[in-house]
Structure 1
Amino acid sequence: MSEETGFLARPDGERLAWRRVAGSGPTVVWLGGFRSDMAGTKAEAIARWAAERGRAYVRFDYFGHGESSGDFTQGTITRWREDSLAVLDELTEGPLVLVGSSMGGWISCLAAAVRAERIQAMVLIAPAPDFTEKLMAPEIDAAGREALARDGVWLRSSDYGDPYPITANLLEDGARWSILPGPVPIEAPVRILQGGADPDVPWRHALELAQALNSDDVVFNLIKDGDHRLSRPADIARLLVALDEVCLD
């Protein structure tokens, strides 16, 4: 698989790492999750899919993520939305298929709302719109609220590794980008893959997004025993089937 790599310079001097597969049809763009990166199982699987089918594909790391520069604790939804729009505007041309995982599902919706004329379709995996306000904030205990008020940061426990910092700035900024209960101004076809056993994004939360989208061409695929990552071989196969369906020339 031949993949071009590079860095996209941002106005403040930070750099976004990216990888690109040349090909035809709409450009598929990967928008990863919170604290994730472009080298994950699903992003890599799409890169192989793109190379095999001769499809254009771009993936990147947000500010403070993966190979990109920046301090993760300085990141916000505003910043990561701007990163995504910069990638769309500077690294792609023509129609787009946005593939958003978890937080990337939220960022995809925010980007699609202002680049509607270019969006051919979207594929969302365990989409987490408004997660800062609706999923994360309610779980903060009294000690966490005290830490946020005192230090501006809360260490959130994780099932995937060590606790990680959540800043008051992230929570406050995220609330400004709330899109639920909708309506969400997206008219393009949308395919949603959601695990029924997802401990991070309840399936009803993802379903609320599906119902809020303006598009009538929305398919919600509930994988009853699926977790948040949806990276098992069968889950990856479902993702690639969805891409084959929406990536029409």
Structure 2
Amino acid sequence: MSQEVDFLQRPDGEQIAWRRVAGAGPMVVWLGGFRSDMIGTKAQALAEWAAASGRGYIRFDYLGHGESSGDFQAKGTITRWREDALAVLDELTQGPLVLVGSSMGGWLACLAAVARPERVACMVLIAPAVDFTEKLMAPEIPPEGLADLERDGVWMRPSDYGDPYPITRTLLEDGARWSILGAEPVPIVVPVRILQGGADPDVPWRHALELAQALKGEDVVFSLIKDGDHRLSRPQDIARLIAAVEEVAS
């Protein structure tokens, strides 16, 4: 099952691809991960759940991801992907929202909730990779990668999920601007559910727990799936995700 793709025109001429399921609110908004897309297992499972349950749901691809236009290497930054997410919220949705963010999408969901507190009713985060450019990625860049970044402004990072992909100096420097983990609480007070794999090689569970502890709100539940990986896309993980969305959305 898939919905027809449509496109949101951005001021610079780029187009953000999106799909929607019509239904009752609050609308569920999917925010995918770094180099992921809106037809992945979790996003598609939520689309099927929304269609079956009569729930409004929208998913989209950031610039340089999936079916959206744009050069990932030349234009891809947290600033730009945050703008894409806010454009979707502002132009394609109405009323209260349930933000569901996976990995980088968890970070962008937090940034969106801070920017649009009057719109966000609750959140479900899967392996939230908040501040990942500064706290998770930068410390693991090998000496040859640092040399590439210094010389060329880009490093081709090996991946366990496919071909090497570009990490730019611009991405790393820009990401540091949007760090939310620090001395101050993260100003999000809505109910939040966090699903985190204990065997996640990309986002350590302690990193996700740090976010849970930093959130200003009290209605925060952190669920550790001890044998879960980063993707949390197994049938039992999908069931947990849908249950979490149903809980907070009700």
Structure 2-normalised TM-score? 0.98
The AA in structure 1 aligned to 2:135 is K
Equivalent residue number for residue 72 of structure 1 = 72
Give the superposition deviation at 1:247.
Answer: 1.1
Partner of 1:39: 39
Equivalent of residue 220 in structure 1, options 219, 222, 234: 222
What is the distance in 1 between the residues matched to 2:115 and 2:214? 17
Pair 1:189-2:195 in alignment: no
Q: CA deviation at 1:3?
A: 3.0
Structure 2 counterpart of 1:27: 27
Residue identity matched to 2:122: A
Structure 1: which amino acid aligns with 2:233? S
Give the residue type in structure 1 aligned to 2:66.
G
Q: Give the match for residue 128 of structure 1.
A: 129
Partner of 1:85: 86
Equivalent in the alignment of 1:244: 246
Q: Which runs of 5+ in 2 are unaligned?
A: none
Give the aligned residue type for 2:203. Answer: V
Moved more, 26-35 or 157-166: 157-166
In structure 1, distance between residues paired with 2:239 and 2:248: 15
Preserved contact between residue 94 and residue 118 of structure 1 (Cα < 8 Å) = yes
Distance 1:132 1:217 in 2: 27
Measured in 2, the distance between the counterparts of 1:147 and 1:189 equals 42
Partner of 1:8: 8
* Structure 2: distance between partners of 1:120 and 1:3: 25
What fraction of aligned residue pairs are identical, expressed as a percent?
A: 77
Query: Counterparts in 2 of 1:121-160, with a 5 A limit?
Result: 121-160=122-161
Cα-to-partner distance string for 1:128-176 (whole Å, 9 max, x where unaligned): 0000000000011111111001000011111111111100000000000
CA distance in 2, matches of 1:4, 1:56: 15
For structure 1, which runs of at least 5 residues remain unmatched after alignment? none
Partner of 1:110: 111
Greater shift after overlay, 233-242 or 155-164? 155-164
Which residues of 2 match residues 152-171 of structure 1 at below 5 A?
Answer: 152-171=153-172
Q: Shift in Å at residue 4 of structure 1? A: 4.5
In 2, Cα distance between the equivalents of 1:213 and 1:38?
Answer: 27
Q: 1:155 to 1:89 in 2, by over 3 A?
A: same
Which stretches of structure 1, 4 residues or longer, exceed 4 Å deviation after superposition? none
SS at match of 2:231: coil
Aligned-residue RMSD, C-alpha: 0.9
Asked if 1:59 corresponds to 2:56, the answer is no
Q: When the two structures are superposed, what TM-score results if normalisation uses the length of structure 1? A: 0.98
- Does the CA-based 8 Å contact 1:2-1:21 persist in structure 2? no
